[in-house]
Amino acid sequence: MLNSQMAAAYKNQQIMTASPEQLTLLLYNGALRFLNESIQALESGDKEKSHHSNLRVQAIIREFMDTLDMNYEIAKNWTALYEYIEHCLIEGNIKKDVQQLRNAKEILEDMRNTWQEAMKLARQDKVAGV
């Protein structure tokens, strides 16, 4: 019990002190974790757990879409990707189709990795004084 309380306190502290960029990365990681849970649950026949995890991923994707700054052209491209991910999640959830969930996972992993690389480059630019 004490270990779980300590882990929860650490996680809460991590979130409260994270930059917006780090929070975005945490959301990507969370979405992927819930998506993996959904896939594994569906493969093991636990449709209820798969559904619950899928809804959590959908909520994160919706949050990403709602917070995009549409004043930038790239936001329109990211919206299209998020809409496709959401479509795959919904289809996978309704039809219990693991392949749809894997399609969503592949794109989400690419987006998360792109975000990590952008954060890395931004840090390097900051250190270099650019």
pLDDT at 64 over 90: yes
pLDDT at 125: 79
Residue 72 is classified by DSSP as: S
Average pLDDT over the chain, rounded to an integer? 91
pLDDT at 126 over 80: no
pTM: predicted TM-score of the whole model, two decimal places: 0.85
Q: ∠ at Cα 14 (9, 83), nearest 5°?
A: 115
1-10, 36-45, 59-68: least confidently modelled range = 1-10
Provide, for the chain, the percentages of residues in helix, strand and coil under a 3-state DSSP scheme, each rounded to the nearest 5. Answer: 90, 0, 10
The per-residue pLDDT for range 70-111, each reduced to its tens digit, is 999 999 999 999 999 999 999 999 999 999 999 999 999 999
Asked whether the predicted pLDDT for residue 14 surpasses 70, the reply is: no
Residue 130, pLDDT score? 61
